[in-house]
Copies of this chain bind each other. A is one copy, B any other.
Amino acid sequence: MSGIPMERPVLAEDEAAALSGLAARVRALAEATVLTSVGTAEAAAVAAEVEALTARLAAARRDAPPFVPSGERRMDRQFANPVSGALNPLAPPIDLTVDSDGIVRGEFTLSTVYEGPPSYVHGGVSAMVLDQVLGMAAAASGTPGMTATLETRYRRPTPLGVPLSVEAKASRVEGRKVYASGTICGPDGRVTVEATAMFIMPQRFVPHS
């Protein structure tokens, strides 16, 4: 339908490191864009330079995002994931780990580029992060799947610019369905957002044709 190939190139370690470094710089550029007050002429001049750099990167281009080999308990195969991928400049820098107890944990700080209500994290961004973390917890249970339902409850505002923690765990597996739940907590350890989700192994999600 979309013409995006399903086969993915797998990167060597040095290329993955170079591209992660590039993505981190582009993420910083995106944040600087939101806050800059350099004026219209300088903004236009920088925009022209950015366009030239995009052309340099596009000179050799893949048809689909690459993968990296799975590290033990890291699940970083989806290197370009828009929520937690080191190659994706849109993803906040969340370092997620899967512990031996099956709990996925991460620490992260969100800048004003993720702002919804003034000084707080956008509710949709919190939902996006929780979908990813609960999905990883489902996968850690041995039954990776696509999101079927996601319910998020916002207990209090999630602040920008301070360390947040997220964690999730699968609660039960029923055939191809996995249920998981998790939370985002502020620096005081209190829950700001909680979520439950159900994931289903892919077969069922093949589009009807």
Look across to chain B and name the residue whose beta carbon is closest to the beta carbon of A11: B37
Which of B42, B50, B112 lies in contact with A64, CB distance below 8 A?
B112
Q: Which of B3, B64, B128, B154 contacts A127 (CB 8 A)?
A: B128
Bound complex: CA of A55 vs CA of B128, how far in Å?
30
Bound complex: CA of A205 vs CA of B192, how far in Å?
11
| Cβ contact of A60, chosen from B8, B38, B161, cutoff 8 A | B38
Q: Is A149 an interface residue (CB 8 A)?
A: yes
Within 8 Å CB of A1, what residues of B?
119, 159, 162
List, in ascending order, chain B residues with CB within 8 A of A125's CB. Answer: 82-83, 128
Which residues of the other chain, B, contact A151 by a CB distance below 8 angstroms?
A: 149-152
What is the minimal beta-carbon distance from A14 to any residue of chain B, in angstroms?
5
Task: Please state if B149 and A82 are interface contacts (CB–CB under 8 Å).
Answer: no
Residues of B within 8 A of A8 (CB): 118
A135 within 8 A of B: yes
Chain A 26-67 per-residue mask, 1 if CB under 8 angstroms from chain B, else 0: 101110111111111111101101110110111111111110
- Cα distance A43–B41 in the bound complex, in angstroms: 28
Scoring A26, A115, A161 by chain B CB atoms within 10 A of each residue's CB, the highest score goes to A26
Establish whether residues A128 and B124, one from each chain, have CB atoms under 8 Å apart when the complex forms: yes
A136 CB to nearest B CB, Å = 11
Is A140 part of the binding interface, using a Cβ–Cβ cutoff of 8 Å?
Answer: no
Q: How far is the CA of A6 from the CA of B153 in the complex (A)?
A: 25
Residues of A within 8 A of B (CB): 1-4, 6, 8-9, 14-15, 17-19, 21-23, 25-26, 28-30, 32-44, 46-47, 49-51, 53-54, 56-66, 80-83, 87-90, 112-120, 122-125, 127-132, 135, 146-154, 156-157, 159-162, 202, 205, 207-208
